[in-house]
Structure 1
Amino acid sequence: MSPLEPMMPPVQHAQVNGIEMAYYEAGPRVGVPIILCHGFPELAFSWRHQLTALAEAGRWVIAPDQRGYGQSSVPEAVTDYDMEHLTGDLVGLLDHLGAEKAVFCGHDWGGFVVWQMALMHPARTAGVIGLNTPFQGRAPADPIALMRMRYGQDMYIVWFQTLGDADAVLAADVERTMRFFMRTPAALAAAAQPPEGGSSFAFNDLIAQWDPADRSNQLLSDAELAVFVEAFQRNGFTGPINWYRNFTRNWERSEGRPNRIDGVPCMMITAEMDAVLTPDMAKHMPAAVGDLEMHMVAGSGHWTQQEKPDAVNALILDWMDRRFPQ
């Protein structure tokens, strides 16, 4: 039996945008589909609780392993992970499903992608739900240069820019890496704080210093963790990290794109205890998104759909019933 069973629907595969995309589909094929987009270092499996609950409520719901992840293709070129490719994959998935539009719900990196769907492919975007990740307009300068200036050279996104470095560190002991990341809010909040004289979010040093024997702050069961470990042992981390290596390219290629979203119903869900994507980062959004509803999940850290699935499911279903009734 696959470690995904019985936690996920059967995997399906589609040829989209030059890659093979694995996806999991549940619920009746009626109404507007909801496409759930995961972040780093995650999988479609991160949405297991939403696939079940939304389907039981009669919603058509799909969660893909995005390029570089899980059972989907892992292209070699760094530029194959830019925003044009990531959003193009979702358009291709819509075409494969025979759907004109979808509501795109994204967490972490998936959140960046779904907000860009509203700008780059508005004709295919019925609505957007941002989970933890706020909509951000175009930065005034290269985002990597800004992060390096603000957080230092050891900040994880800056560290990720060096080809092969972080890839090898994270892949050296995948179970340790996944246990480090998939922890409770208090543990991740402590990891976000800079050591004496060090850099914020310096995950290279923090992973090395962390004692994996400490299981007190683990978020996942052993069976759930095994799904993530198996996937990243098989594929490594280079594809996922390549998403980060396109920050500068995405910024350069976004020149002239609108800095606000209009004409698309949107909902932003923040997490009270997320130390990476804090609720304060979304405060500007009412001025940047014309049709916006905002909510906060109390007591949740970064992995909101896994930490507080009932709260997330209730917010999504209530919003869908009001904005996209069936």
Structure 2
Amino acid sequence: MTDEIDHRFVEVNGVRLHVAEQGEGPLVLLLHGFPECWYSWRHQFGPLAAAGYRVVAPDQRGYARSEQPPDVDSYTLPHLVGDAIGLIRALGEEQAVVVGHDWGAPVAWAAAMMRPDVVRAVAGLSVPPALPAGTGSLPMSRQAYGDGFYQVVFQEEGRADAEFARDPAATFRRLLVGASGDNPANEKPGPWIVPEGGEVLAPYPEPGRLPGWLSERDVEVFVREYAGHGERAFTGGLNWYRNIQRNHELLTAFAGRGIEVPALYVGGDRDLVQAMRGVDLVLGALDRIAPRLHDSVVIEGCGHWTQQERPAEVNAALLDFLSALKP
């Protein structure tokens, strides 16, 4: 086993994906969220590889070093699940444990639901398995939170794209600190609401200082990883949100299906997702949605960036889960 993280490109479903890889053994596929990339798993590579696993974290389509298809409708959950399954095959494997955070979690849950023959176990960080569509519907979100709800605002092509790309370092600082457990406002987490006529990032001002888990070097890495897409640096990720309603419609055929494979959920009690409509009901029904649920872990004081904020607790939960799986 090498201590170095290797980087390369793999073509999957006609899209060139950048992947970071370390270790040998059973494959563990790590799927990041928004606005992140492979680097958000920097604390998981070493411990999982040392425990005897092949750890692979792609930049998912539209993100960082990976290719950004131009059409908005190229970012549906079926596309994203197809990338995950295709990547497992392209890596020469028949099966994998799939772990997802934020947007990566709906991809992981949906992949486990659709292809339990390939996804032998699944873990979701922050976002629980709100199946079948994974993210609800836009009319429901608008009714619950109004037109200022960030997922509704993101539907306007170009608005958040331009604001986020204007100063990527500030964007990463404001989002990563603002949605973290270190933001005092998240002691009682609430949804991200954009003020009428205000900037999208208004709820998350520039922090006076960074928390211990996030350094200026970390911010610089995220900025560098996103630099290749220029003014469209965040557009690929935002296009995932622009398919929420389409996902809801495409996946209605799977209504009633649950998770058949072993499953794990890990979240933070200061995560804005915990405050979103219906999440408490989903968490209360996890053992019915996923009858082979291994554990549901809620980390006190942790915000949205689960594996970055609390790597020790997340790694312990993942290793405990992985060790309980049959070969």
Same fold (TM over 0.5): yes
What letter is aligned with 2:319?
A: L
Give the Cα–Cα distance (whole angstroms) in 2 for the partners of residues 141 and 24 of structure 1: 27
Match of 1:276 among 270, 273, 278: 273
In the alignment, the residues of structure 2 paired with residue 282 and residue 192 of structure 1 have an alpha-carbon distance, to the nearest angstrom, of 18
Q: 1:162 to 1:302 in 2, by over 3 A?
A: same
Amino acid at match of 2:290: V
Q: Work out the CA distance in 2 between the residues paired with 1:94 and 1:205.
A: 39
Amino acid at match of 2:316: A
Of 214, 236, 241, the residue aligned with 1:239 is 236
* 2:22 counterpart of 1:26: yes
1:274 Cα offset (Å): 1.1
1:259 to 251, 256, 266: 256
Contact 2:194–2:202 (Cα < 8 Å) also in 1: no
Residues 124 and 222 of structure 1: CA distance in aligned 2, closer, same or farther (over 3 Å) = same
Stretches of structure 1 that go unaligned for 5 or more consecutive residues are: 1-6
Question: 1:299 — aligned with what?
Answer: 301
What is the Cα deviation at residue 234 of structure 1?
3.0
SS in structure 2 at match of 1:122: coil
User: What's the CA shift for 1:47?
Assistant: 0.3
Matches within 5 A, 1:80-229: 80-138=74-132, 143-183=137-177, 184-187=180-183, 189-190=185-186, 200-202=192-194, 205=199, 207-208=201-202, 211-212=205-206, 214-215=208-209, 217=211, 219-229=213-223
AA of the residue aligned to 2:193: F
Opposite residue 309 of structure 1, the aligned amino acid is P
Match of 1:10 among 6, 9, 12: 6
Identify the range of structure 1 (14-23 vs 199-208) with the bigger mean alpha-carbon deviation: 199-208
For 1:142 and 1:260, the matched residues in 2 are separated by 15
Query: Which residue of structure 2 lines up, in the alignment, with residue 51 of structure 1?
Result: 45
Q: Secondary structure at the match of 2:8?
A: strand
- Aligned residue-pair number: 313
Name the CA shift for 1:261/1:171 in 2 (closer, same or farther; >3 Å). Answer: same
When normalised by structure 1's length, the TM-score is 0.88
Identity %: 36
Q: CA offsets per residue over residues 117-156 of structure 1, 9 Å max, x none?
A: 0122222110100111100124799711111111111111
RMSD: 2.5
In structure 2, how many angstroms separate the alpha carbons of the residues matched to 1:151 and 1:218?
Answer: 32
**Matching residue's letter, 2:307:** Q
Q: What is the distance in 1 between the residues matched to 2:51 and 2:268?
A: 24
* Contact in 2 for aligned 1:8/1:45 (Cα 8 Å): no
Q: Please tell me whether the aligned partners of residues 37 and 104 of structure 1 are also in contact (alpha carbons under 8 angstroms).
A: yes
CA deviation vs aligned residue, 1:282-313 (integer Å, no higher than 9, x gap): 22212211211222223211111011101111
Q: Distance in 2 between matches of 1:10 and 1:21?
A: 14
Structure 2 regions of 5+ residues with no counterpart?
none
